[in-house]
Structure 1
């Protein structure tokens, strides 16, 4: 076969293999990068052998690496880096140097390398994590704007910046040991001169050139000019003894701050994606499955060492920068792999003779395995935290260290509004509330955001909005209302759940990032759920209808009807099976349990509104599965419970236990003649410091104390030995008249609020309770 035609066949085979592998990965909901690696391994010399000459394909693949780094440079944002500049710059540098130092010491100690130079090179490879895989996973879970998402991306940006420096220094490592210092110094000097020249060109040369290309109004000319600029600078750096990849990255940085950066990225992305698939497929062709199989134990051991070692370096570093333990653990697990750009370093190192062929193959195998396992680990992290909530000492550890990082003196403690998240939505909410002279407290854990709040003199609590300790510091228990505008669904759900633990009657409005979360958030207790895309549709439609002459009151009524119906008329119809699957996925991220209603349960025959499970036990009922197999997801309040029902409930361990007591009839259930009400025990209450057995509240007033809430902790269905303290909130159940009497005695200054369940007329004095153990619950 002619040489030129052989090249065409090889490129077609590699692209087809990359496309097939990428398609398979997409079907399995994995990053397509893993499919490219798999496709290359299958058609490469160690696989089917369809591509035997790698030199020409690798040459084209080098363009892929160059375009990858060029696009990375264009996308690089100093603004995004500033959001987490402390952990990014300080923590990122410490992480890289720590990884290199530890790897060098360990590799020399166990004999993996023969010189410190090789150890440093090995450490540089291991210090890089996968930007492509981590970013893909964060985007799939809508977590790019979360605390751990921002920290991950900040550290990855610094690692990508460090790659350029590593590529510059790498050629110096093949010199004799006595010349390495001089060679590294020369490489750093060249890098500094190149950086200085790039700054000058980026300010005075590149912008006029791009404007000139843009004025031609020709997409082809603009693209050709940008590609020529990228490859020209890449060849210049290669000529200077640095690397093509570093030059491409610098070219991207030069364009990143120009007004045509977005247009440049849009034009280059298709070329980047094609050549990048060639690059990763070419890397896959270098992977020898037989070598991996023959050295499987060693490679799996190296994978374990990489994960454990990087986790033990990264997680404590993030924690040292005052991030929560939960965030530190997620970041440590998320970045505990070797990145795709490590392939670039590894191939350069082998070409320069810094590492042997065997070490190079071990690196390739280890990197490939870590890239494959990372998405699975990130998906298991939420389930780990859900399981940890069921283990008392782990729950105490996670909650105990997740305390507020800073609470200023100007934070109001009563009759204020709490806003969780100070992004664009949260900022607007605060501005509108303050314009009506309302007290506001913001909860956020971004250091840059907190500085903005300081500058604006807005009361804040610096910490994780999901933490009960942070919520208590923000005075959630005494707040008028709360707005939750957090960027990811998981934090939103936990924040809502725990806010209602502190204040069951709190008016909470929540922003839903996805339409499938709307019913879930309502079921968890949100008073109002707002979905930005639907709200935009309503406002645009309202304007158009008003222009058509439809009366404004009619438009407002229709818009409100759509909101009251939870946007059902706008939401795409989903099959029940799809709703069940989405609910099952959401429940996995929370502490959930299917519970069968016991035979003779007092809950049988009651509607969900009558049971009011959330107030009595703290659980949220997400689904009902009937005996006949019918499943009712997100049941409405008027749904009645039936014999043999299985209920999907979400709550803390003690809340699930309380629900089990209630369902079995081991605790009193308020019936239609009873109302229940939360009451604050003040300092001057005669009940303060006494046990329920001493107070005889049930015998004296005919009401039950169903729960005690104290400092974020709940005592469900307390017995006679439970004591009351000033600041406790009691859940009292009885008829209206009895509740009023008990309230006046327990809290002389108490102002009656709306009770819940079935309110009755004041002249009804009978308290009807069902299925209490021996007719009483303790001596309450």
Structure 2
């Protein structure tokens, strides 16, 4: 008799339960994540009415793969360029929210008498909102075009990075079991170092590799290569002491900067959905319904703390960042939930065996409740804002409006700020690269050469020379390269106050470069004589080959910047505007009355008060389109307007309303008709364009027979003549009224 492995049996059971529950949750229009969790509870060890998963260890391995692909997918949606562009408002809002929720979670746990690690992890669980739940709610409620939605998405991007940082810090804290300040600082420093290094290396290498192999890539190979890159980065992250989830997130964010990002996201979606389903089912398997009943009061307390705390902290952060009261209220009520990252943080506590058994199911229960409440909170956010505006003292409202208006102005930076910012950025980037080369040369290159190529002192010298050659362009950039020449020149002209500090900065740069060389040499030779000789040689070489080093470095920098900006150039869009007017993207539905019409015909500016800034048609970008440009199905249109204006035109793009007052006619009314023109016909002696056939009859002239000559698809400037036989495709009820002799 054939024996079926337990893993396959369990997987079949998991997917069957997940399939049934997700169909049910789709029917009742609830998040699929909750369906997966319910499926896990049904097939888990705590409910015995259904078949139970037997090999839970194997399921947990599949679940870890699910976490990897889930974080990889979040990375594809994240991208560091987006983080840079979210602006001060989203960053301030996210930081204020996370800080307050960490404190609220910790205090709530302490008030309920929980252990220290439970309180710390509770704060981490409550600090991050759910990207998946918010995006789904925005889509269902049709508010993605509104101004506050852009701020919410920016906050979510910042929160994703904060969640990654929390995973690292909580892992360090769980292992040490104490607040060791030096160890925590070292962990943060190590994380920042590898984030910078992986980002620079990834952007330089991965897009170049994908571009070089583009002709060889079909969907199958692109999927395999993308997953391979993800898992290789996972292995590298684990090798240097980080979690697999961090490696997956980093590779996703690197691939998000490539021109292939959308394709990779599409190809890996099915893989992510499969393994993420297993992960969320495994989440449900760990929930004991008995614990939920026993901890009903803590669940209620934490749910209220989540909703009220996130509303107040996010709203306060938005106000501090200069947002209007309306945007702040809507943002706060949109972010009042926890989700997938909270599950991952809770799973970390269980994996490291530092949290109590009850914390995990409580987190899941709170997430489930806040998932249900999120759409209702978003819906009621605008009425609640109007209520607050009526009840608040008028002076407060006016003060908030003045503060919001004042922060919306353009800020300028002094020459010193520009120069110091550039010098700091230059120093950090090249210091990270040089440190990486030093350790790679001393710990990997030198042992490899001395063991496999040349033994003894000669092998060490070769390793040192190779390392110095690799370091040379970056040493030149750190010590000699001119940065922000204009700001530097302005400051240099002020002899009395600024030349001294400028000279000090240049000396500091050169000193850091010499220190890097000395530190490298010290890894190979510990004698001062060798260090001094090598320093003299590297200074001489950099002086002689300065131009070549500059040219080589410029080529590398241009390649890096090209890779970094390639996707942005491909999908270039205008910047977001201040105040209530903002940009949003709408897609022309094939059923919309906009299809085939020119912008002058649509007159969206005159009728709706909005402007069309850009049309994206496949890979083609049409910025500030002209009046004769037409819209076609699935065009992506960037519109500028207020929330109300964009809401009014959104239904037109979706095909929900008609662009004119004509009644809808069924497909069967579209027929091919033959009309004979005579001197008394309303269209006689008019051009096809001026005749109004298209506008008044929804018809199209497809052919004309004139004096025995047939003209197929006639030009719109052709004039109707007596005894023309005209073939028209259109509404058979309207064409006769216009063309037949009355």
Confirm or deny a common fold (TM above 0.5). Answer: yes
Q: Does 1:205 align with 2:205?
A: yes
1:515 aligned partner: 655
2:321 aligned partner: 321
Q: Distance in 1 between matches of 2:390 and 2:164?
A: 46
TM-score scaled by length of structure 2? 0.55
Structure-to-structure mapping, 1:31-180, within 5 angstroms: 31-47=31-47, 48-77=50-79, 80-81=82-83, 84-108=86-110, 110-115=111-116, 118-176=118-176, 180=180
Query: Residue 79 of structure 1: CA displacement?
Result: 5.7
Question: Do 2:235 and 2:244's aligned partners in 1 also have CA atoms closer than 8 Å?
Answer: yes
Query: Residue 310 of structure 1: CA displacement?
Result: 1.8
Q: Distance in 2 between matches of 1:403 and 1:491?
A: 22
Bigger proportion of residues as helix: 2
Query: Residue 385 of structure 1: CA displacement?
Result: 6.3
Q: Distance in 1 between matches of 2:654 and 2:268?
A: 31
Query: Residue 383 of structure 1: CA displacement?
Result: 6.2
Q: Distance in 1 between matches of 2:317 and 2:19?
A: 39
Query: Residue 239 of structure 1: CA displacement?
Result: 2.9
Q: Distance in 2 between matches of 1:368 and 1:225?
A: 36
Query: Residue 81 of structure 1: CA displacement?
Result: 4.8
Q: Distance in 2 between matches of 1:401 and 1:42?
A: 54
Structure-to-structure mapping, 1:661-700, within 5 angstroms: none
Task: Give the 3 Å change call, closer, same or farther, for CA 70–175 of structure 1 in structure 2.
Answer: closer
Q: Distance in 1 between matches of 2:694 and 2:249?
A: 50
Q: Secondary structure at 2:5's aligned position in 1? A: helix
2:696 aligned partner: 561
Q: Does 1:423 align with 2:583?
A: yes
Task: Give the 3 Å change call, closer, same or farther, for CA 556–62 of structure 1 in structure 2.
Answer: farther
Task: Give the 3 Å change call, closer, same or farther, for CA 9–518 of structure 1 in structure 2.
Answer: same
Q: Distance in 2 between matches of 1:362 and 1:168?
A: 23
Q: Distance in 2 between matches of 1:121 and 1:241?
A: 20
Q: Distance in 1 between matches of 2:144 and 2:231?
A: 31
Task: Give the 3 Å change call, closer, same or farther, for CA 7–325 of structure 1 in structure 2.
Answer: same
Question: Do 2:346 and 2:363's aligned partners in 1 also have CA atoms closer than 8 Å?
Answer: yes
Question: Do 2:41 and 2:286's aligned partners in 1 also have CA atoms closer than 8 Å?
Answer: yes
Structure-to-structure mapping, 1:19-34, within 5 angstroms: 19-34=19-34
1:570 aligned partner: none
Q: Distance in 2 between matches of 1:406 and 1:140?
A: 32
1:221 aligned partner: 221
- Structure 1 portions without partners, runs of 5+: 410-418, 427-431, 445-483, 497-508, 523-527, 530-549, 566-780
Q: Distance in 2 between matches of 1:340 and 1:425?
A: 27
Query: Residue 399 of structure 1: CA displacement?
Result: 8.2
Return the structure number with greater relative CO, CA threshold 8 A, min gap 6.
2
Q: Distance in 2 between matches of 1:36 and 1:375?
A: 20
- Per-residue deviation, residues 538-578 of structure 1 (Å, max 9, x unmatched): xxxxxxxxxxxx98644772444379x9xxxxxxxxxxxxx
Q: Does 1:357 align with 2:357?
A: yes
- Per-residue deviation, residues 288-345 of structure 1 (Å, max 9, x unmatched): 2232123223312221122112222111221222323222222212111112111111
Question: Do 1:71 and 1:272's aligned partners in 2 also have CA atoms closer than 8 Å?
Answer: yes
Q: Secondary structure at 1:357's aligned position in 2? A: coil
Q: Distance in 2 between matches of 1:170 and 1:182?
A: 15
Task: Give the 3 Å change call, closer, same or farther, for CA 373–423 of structure 1 in structure 2.
Answer: closer
Query: Residue 363 of structure 1: CA displacement?
Result: 2.3
Q: Distance in 1 between matches of 2:66 and 2:642?
A: 33
Question: Do 2:59 and 2:282's aligned partners in 1 also have CA atoms closer than 8 Å?
Answer: yes
For this pair of structures, how many residues does the alignment match?
Answer: 463
Q: Secondary structure at 1:215's aligned position in 2? A: helix
- Per-residue deviation, residues 429-478 of structure 1 (Å, max 9, x unmatched): xxx99xxxx99x9999xxxxxxxxxxxxxxxxxxxxxxxxxxxxxxxxxx
Q: Distance in 2 between matches of 1:397 and 1:296?
A: 42
Q: Distance in 2 between matches of 1:99 and 1:138?
A: 23
Question: Do 2:14 and 2:281's aligned partners in 1 also have CA atoms closer than 8 Å?
Answer: yes
Q: Distance in 2 between matches of 1:510 and 1:10?
A: 46
- Per-residue deviation, residues 733-776 of structure 1 (Å, max 9, x unmatched): xxxxxxxxxxxxxxxxxxxxxxxxxxxxxxxxxxxxxxxxxxxx
Structure-to-structure mapping, 1:436-447, within 5 angstroms: none
What RMSD in Å do the two structures reach over aligned CA positions?
4.2
- Per-residue deviation, residues 659-693 of structure 1 (Å, max 9, x unmatched): xxxxxxxxxxxxxxxxxxxxxxxxxxxxxxxxxxx
Q: Distance in 1 between matches of 2:140 and 2:642?
A: 13
1:186 aligned partner: 186
Task: Give the 3 Å change call, closer, same or farther, for CA 190–82 of structure 1 in structure 2.
Answer: closer
Q: Comparing 204-213 with 137-146, which one deviates more in the overlay? A: 204-213
Q: Distance in 1 between matches of 2:197 and 2:353?
A: 31
Question: Do 1:65 and 1:245's aligned partners in 2 also have CA atoms closer than 8 Å?
Answer: yes
1:8 aligned partner: 8
Query: Residue 350 of structure 1: CA displacement?
Result: 1.9
Structure-to-structure mapping, 1:488-507, within 5 angstroms: 492=646
Q: Distance in 1 between matches of 2:248 and 2:696?
A: 55
Task: Give the 3 Å change call, closer, same or farther, for CA 233–86 of structure 1 in structure 2.
Answer: same
Question: Do 1:125 and 1:342's aligned partners in 2 also have CA atoms closer than 8 Å?
Answer: yes
Q: Secondary structure at 1:423's aligned position in 2? A: strand
Query: Residue 104 of structure 1: CA displacement?
Result: 2.5
Query: Residue 362 of structure 1: CA displacement?
Result: 2.2
Question: Do 2:90 and 2:318's aligned partners in 1 also have CA atoms closer than 8 Å?
Answer: no
2:372 aligned partner: 372
Q: Secondary structure at 2:242's aligned position in 1? A: coil
Q: Distance in 2 between matches of 1:15 and 1:378?
A: 32
Query: Residue 51 of structure 1: CA displacement?
Result: 1.6
Question: Do 1:25 and 1:31's aligned partners in 2 also have CA atoms closer than 8 Å?
Answer: yes
Q: Distance in 2 between matches of 1:92 and 1:562?
A: 55
TM-score scaled by length of structure 1? 0.53
Q: Distance in 2 between matches of 1:556 and 1:373?
A: 56
Structure-to-structure mapping, 1:620-639, within 5 angstroms: none
Query: Residue 193 of structure 1: CA displacement?
Result: 2.8
Query: Residue 268 of structure 1: CA displacement?
Result: 0.9
Q: Distance in 2 between matches of 1:562 and 1:395?
A: 58
Question: Do 2:315 and 2:332's aligned partners in 1 also have CA atoms closer than 8 Å?
Answer: yes
Query: Residue 49 of structure 1: CA displacement?
Result: 4.9
Structure-to-structure mapping, 1:327-726, within 5 angstroms: 327-381=327-381, 388=387, 393=391, 403=401, 405-406=404-405, 421-423=581-583, 486=641, 492=646, 512-517=652-657, 553-554=688-689, 557-561=692-696
Q: Secondary structure at 2:96's aligned position in 1? A: helix
Question: Do 2:173 and 2:179's aligned partners in 1 also have CA atoms closer than 8 Å?
Answer: no
Q: Distance in 1 between matches of 2:350 and 2:263?
A: 37
Q: Distance in 1 between matches of 2:398 and 2:102?
A: 33
Query: Residue 2 of structure 1: CA displacement?
Result: 9.4
- Per-residue deviation, residues 680-734 of structure 1 (Å, max 9, x unmatched): xxxxxxxxxxxxxxxxxxxxxxxxxxxxxxxxxxxxxxxxxxxxxxxxxxxxxxx
1:663 aligned partner: none
Q: Distance in 2 between matches of 1:293 and 1:137?
A: 28
Q: Distance in 2 between matches of 1:55 and 1:551?
A: 80
Q: Distance in 1 between matches of 2:81 and 2:102?
A: 28
- Structure 2 portions without partners, runs of 5+: 410-578, 587-598, 612-638, 663-684, 700-742
Q: Distance in 1 between matches of 2:6 and 2:262?
A: 37
1:283 aligned partner: 283
Q: Distance in 2 between matches of 1:5 and 1:170?
A: 37
Q: Secondary structure at 1:145's aligned position in 2? A: coil
Task: Give the 3 Å change call, closer, same or farther, for CA 213–562 of structure 1 in structure 2.
Answer: farther
1:609 aligned partner: none
Q: Distance in 2 between matches of 1:80 and 1:293?
A: 42
